[in-house]
Chain A
Amino acid sequence: MRSEVDVVVIGAGPAGMAAAVAAAGAGAGVVVLDEQVEPGGQIYRAIESVERNRPADLSFLGDAYVHGSTVAGAFRAVRTDYRPASTVWQVGDLGKGKRRDVVYSRNGAAETLSVKHLVIATGALERPVPIPGWTLPGVMTVGAVQSALKTSGIYPTGNLVLAGSGPLMLQLAVQLITAHVPIAAIVDTTPPGGLSRAFFHLPRALAAGETLLKGWRMLRTVNRSGVPIYRGASHLQAHGSKQTRGEKVTSLSFRSQGTDYAIDADVVALHEGVTPNTQLTRLLQAEHRWDDRQRCFHPLTNQWGETSEPGVYVAGDGGGIAGSLAAERSGMITGLAVAQSLGLLAEAARDFISEEQRMRRFIDLSIRPFLDSYYPAPNWIGKVGDDVILCRCEEVTAGQLRAAMAHGCSGPNQAKSFLRCGMGACQGRMCAASVTEVMAATSGATPDAVGSFRIRPPIKPVTLAEVAALEQGVL
Chain B
Amino acid sequence: MASDVIIVGGGLVGAALAHGLVKASATVTILDEGDLAFRASRGNFGLVWVQSKGDGMAEYARWSRQSSDLWGDFAKSLGEATGINVGHHRPGGLELCLDQGEYETYATSIKRMHNQPGVGENDRRMIDGDEVRRMEPNVGPEVVGAAFCPYDGIVNPLYTLRALHQILASSGADYRGDHRVERIVPEGTGFRVVTARGDFTAGKVVLAAGNGSPGLGPDLGLDIPIGPERGHIIVTERTRPLFNHVLGQVRQTDEGTVMLGATKENVGFDTGFNLEMMRQVASRAVRKVPRLKTLRIIRSWSALRIMSPDGFPVYQESEAFPGAFSVSCHSGVTLAAAHALKLAPRLLEPGFNDHFSAFSPRRFDVPTTA
Contact = CB atoms under 8 A, between A and B. Distances in A.
Q: Are A and B close enough to touch in the complex, i.e. CB under 8 Å?
A: yes
B197 interface: no
A181 interface: no
B56 to A, nearest CB: 32
Nearest to B157: A417
Q: Which 4 A-B pairs have the closest CB atoms?
A: A411-B35, A461-B296, A467-B282, A410-B177
B108 interface: no
B35 A92 contact: no
B5 to A, nearest CB: 18
Nearest to B302: A456
Given A93-B272, A456-B273, A474-B276, A413 B298 contact: no
A457 B281 CA distance: 14
A474 B299 contact: no
Given A458-B297, A458-B300, A464 B286 contact: yes
A387 to B, nearest CB: 19
A462 B279 contact: no
B293 to A, nearest CB: 4
A413 B35 contact: yes
A68 to B, nearest CB: 32
B297 A467 contact: yes
A454 interface: yes
A108 to B, nearest CB: 10
B178 interface: yes
Contacts of A35: none
A425 interface: yes
Contacts of B295: 463-464
Contacts of A92: 273, 275
B293 A464 contact: yes
B275 A457 contact: yes
A467 B35 CA distance: 30
B215 interface: no
Given A411-B35, A464-B292, A475 B275 contact: yes
Contacts of A52: none
Contacts of A77: none
Contact of B162 (A90, A412, A418): A418
Contacts of B275: 90, 92, 101, 103, 457, 470, 474-475
B326 to A, nearest CB: 23
Given A407-B165, A412-B35, A413-B35, A462 B276 contact: no
A461 B177 contact: no
A193 interface: no
Given A90-B275, A407-B166, A417-B42, A465 B294 contact: yes
Contacts of B200: none
A246 interface: no
A410 B165 contact: no
A472 B279 contact: yes
B285 A464 contact: yes
Contact of A456 (B175, B293, B296, B300): B300
A339 to B, nearest CB: 29
Contacts of A411: 34-36
Nearest to A450: B35
A221 interface: no
Interface string A141-177: 0000000000000000000000000000000000000
B321 interface: no
B243 interface: no
B336 interface: no
Interface string A420-440: 100111010000000000000
Interface in A232-285: none
A464 B236 contact: yes
B143 to A, nearest CB: 16
A444 interface: no
28 contacts: A93-B272, A407-B169, A408-B10, A410-B35, A410-B178, A411-B35, A412-B35, A413-B35, A413-B36, A417-B42, A417-B158, A417-B161, A425-B296, A454-B36, A456-B273, A457-B273, A461-B237, A461-B296, A464-B260, A464-B292, A464-B295, A465-B294, A467-B282, A467-B283, A467-B297, A468-B285, A468-B293, A472-B279
Interface in B258-297: 260, 272-276, 278-279, 282-283, 285-286, 292-297
B273 A467 contact: no
B60 interface: no
Contact of B282 (A103, A424, A468): A468
A424 B237 CA distance: 8
B74 interface: no
A408 B294 contact: no
B356 interface: no
A425 B298 contact: yes
A462 B165 contact: no
A456 B285 CA distance: 20
A420 B301 CA distance: 14
A451 interface: yes
B293 A465 contact: yes
Contacts of A409: 177
A425 B286 CA distance: 21
A413 B178 CA distance: 13
A410 B34 contact: yes
Contact of B301 (A103, A424, A456, A467): A456
Contacts of A454: 36
Nearest to B177: A410
Nearest to B167: A407
B96 to A, nearest CB: 16
A457 B300 contact: yes
Nearest to A406: B169
A414 interface: yes
A475 B279 CA distance: 10
Nearest to B293: A465
Interface string B173-216: 00101100000000000000000000000000000000000000
Contacts of A475: 274-276
B123 to A, nearest CB: 32
Interface string A439-454: 0000000000001001
Contacts of A90: 273, 275
A423 B159 CA distance: 14
Interface in A366-403: none
A473 interface: yes
Interface in B33-54: 34-36, 42
Most buried by B among A406, A408, A457: A408
B243 to A, nearest CB: 16
Interface string A57-85: 00000000000000000000000000000
A457 B297 CA distance: 9
